[in-house]
């Protein structure tokens, strides 16, 4: 048995290496001739500094007889004539239980430059989404620990949700609350295009020691080349897929998918794609569905995904936000005006929706949530009249009811960062409010 395994391994070894040479470098694009490679293959570019490790690059296109390469690291000490070695395989990363609590870079290496644990499995970063006919329906609720979400925007195991917000409205804080309080088996958190200063702040303040104990964090900061930022998203998704195939219920939190799209735009423009919708290249709109569809359910386990989407000027109809909203199974809209009132998490309940809530919530819960949403809508419609004192009590029974319930509803929607409402606790509070209970 062992001998046959060794023979299989020997047959897979490629004893002939393919080499080429750098002929041209323009911006972040390296042009080479000679290496036998395919789109998506990793190549090593040897620098003129003999003491420097070769730079990893990926084949992103071809032009006549030239291979177009995009580096994963900064281009230093590379010039015409530098040797290019083709590996003839895509980027591979490692995954396993012993990685939980680790902080990785976009290529799956330890960010503190220490060695990865032994006994890990090797997986490809770029994989196909599950067959639609092999996706079990979402039927089970996942407890998030944030009562506004659990009660009014109930999430199912395997659901994919977008968190739409402008800058500084509380996305990272909400992700930290979900990571700490959710009843998922583990979290994989991808920080894509973040400022370097914010990475440690998120890990220490928002995620905390308890959150890190059941998380794997993948970091590709804004100073990294665009391809490493893209690969950070692919690496995090591949690690999630590994654990899902082991039967785990995983949370994927990606902050932010907008910066992944921006990195893909940089790559597209560098390879000669035309800018189309607001400067985004066609490959951006081809890449997003493929990336986002990889999460969700399969026959073994689930990936419940939370993707943050930056909206310029709080415009929810900009191209990336519009595309992502059409792919995902729901969206949470964080409202700047709510954050300015000091109410956190700043979720605008009326603009947010969970498309699977009716499949995972009980009937009395659905009715209570609809009742509370209706009261909120009535109050918002008459808010100006109420605030200036133009509304007279008794004019409308529905408005009177909305006014009487409003303080308790707002109290329910508020939750401090260190509070947690596990399991059915947050839902029970909602039912008590809807039933008019004072407890």
Give dist(CA 154, CA 144) in Å, integer.
9
CATH number of the 18-90 domain: 2.40.30.20
Question: Tokens standing for 398?
Answer: 């529905």
Question: Tokens standing for 286?
Answer: 């081809």
Question: Tokens standing for 172?
Answer: 């990272």
User: What residues have CB less than 8 Å from 96, skipping those under 6 apart?
Assistant: 117, 119, 120, 121, 242
H/E element holding 282? helix 282-292
Domain boundaries, the chain: 18-90, 93-361, 364-435
Distance of CA 379 to the CA centre of its chain: 34
Spatial contact of 39 and 54, defined as CB atoms under 8 Å apart = no
Identify each DSSP E strand in 141-229 by its residue range.
160-165, 186-192, 215-220
The class (CATH top level) of 364-435 is mainly alpha
b/e map of 208-220 (b: 16 or more CB within 10 Å)? Answer: beebbebbbbbbb
Q: Give the residue from 310, 303, 199 showing the smallest Cα distance to 242.
A: 303
Give dist(CA 112, CA 100) in Å, integer.
15
Q: What is the pLDDT of residues 30-65, one digit of tens each?
A: 999 988 889 999 999 998 887 888 999 999 988 888
Q: Give the residue from 377, 376, 364, 380 showing the smallest Cα distance to 432.
A: 364
How high is the pLDDT of residue 439?
42
How high is the pLDDT of residue 10?
58
Which residues of the chain fall below pLDDT 50?
1, 439
Question: Tokens standing for 346?
Answer: 């700043």
> The tokens 């395997």 sit on which residue?
158
Give dist(CA 222, CA 269) in Å, integer.
18
pTM of the complete model:
0.91
Counting DSSP H helices and E strands in the chain, the numbers are 15, 17
How high is the pLDDT of residue 28?
85
Spatial contact of 236 and 303, defined as CB atoms under 8 Å apart = no
How high is the pLDDT of residue 64?
85
First to last CA, the chain: 67
Q: What is the pLDDT of residues 125-167, one digit of tens each?
A: 999 999 999 899 999 999 999 999 999 999 999 999 999 988 8
Q: Does 3.40.50.12240 match the CATH number of domain 93-361?
A: yes
């Amino acid at each position: 048995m062992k001998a046959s395994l060794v023979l299989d391994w020997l047959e897979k070894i490629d004893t002939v290496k393919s080499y080429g040479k750098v002929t041209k470098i323009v911006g972040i694009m390296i042009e080479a001739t000679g290496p036998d490679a395919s789109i998506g293959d990793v190549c090593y570019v040897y620098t003129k500094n003999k003491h420097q490790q070769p730079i990893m690059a990926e084949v992103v296109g071809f032009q006549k007889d030239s291979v177009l390469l995009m580096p994963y690291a900064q281009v230093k000490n590379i010039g015409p004539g530098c040797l290019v070695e083709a590996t003839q395989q895509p980027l591979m990363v490692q995954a396993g239980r012993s990685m939980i609590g680790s902080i990785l870079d976009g290529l799956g290496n330890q960010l503190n430059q220490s060695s990865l644990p032994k006994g890990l499995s090797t997986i490809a970063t770029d994989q196909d989404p599950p067959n639609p006919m092999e996706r079990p329906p979402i039927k089970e609720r996942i407890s998030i620990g944030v009562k506004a979400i659990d009660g009014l925007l109930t999430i199912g195991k395997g659901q994919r949700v977008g968190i739409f917000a402008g800058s500084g409205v509380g996305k990272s804080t909400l992700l930290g609350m979900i990571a700490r309080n959710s009843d998922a088996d583990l979290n994989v958190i991808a920080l894509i295009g973040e400022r370097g200063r914010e990475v440690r702040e998120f890990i220490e303040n928002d995620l905390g020691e308890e959150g890190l104990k059941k998380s794997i964090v993948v970091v590709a900061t804004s100073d990294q080349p665009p391809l490493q930022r893209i690969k950070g998203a692919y690496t995090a998704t591949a690690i999630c897929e590994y654990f899902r195939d082991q039967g785990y219920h995983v949370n994927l939190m990606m902050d932010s998918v907008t910066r992944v799209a921006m990195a893909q735009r940089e790559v597209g423009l560098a390879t000669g794609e035309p800018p189309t919708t607001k400067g985004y290249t066609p490959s951006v709109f081809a890449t997003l569905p493929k990336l986002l569809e990889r999460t969700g359910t399969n026959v073994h386990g689930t990936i419940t995904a939370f993707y943050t989407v930056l909206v310029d000027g709080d415009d929810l109809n900009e191209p990336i936000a519009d595309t992502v909203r059409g792919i995902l199974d729901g969206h949470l809209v964080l409202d700047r005006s709510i954050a300015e009132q000091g109410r956190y998490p700043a979720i605008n309940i009326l603009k947010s929706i969970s498309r699977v809530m009716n499949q995972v919530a009980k009937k009395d819960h659905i009715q209570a949530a609809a009742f509370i949403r209706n009261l909120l809508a009535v109050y918002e419609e008459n808010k100006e009249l109420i605030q200036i004192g133009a509304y007279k009590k008794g004019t409308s029974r529905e408005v009177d009811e909305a006014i009487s319930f409003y303080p308790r509803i707002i109290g329910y929607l508020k939750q401090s960062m260190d509070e947690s409402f596990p399991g059915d606790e947050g839902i029970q509070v909602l039912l008590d409010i809807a039933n008019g209970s004072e407890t």
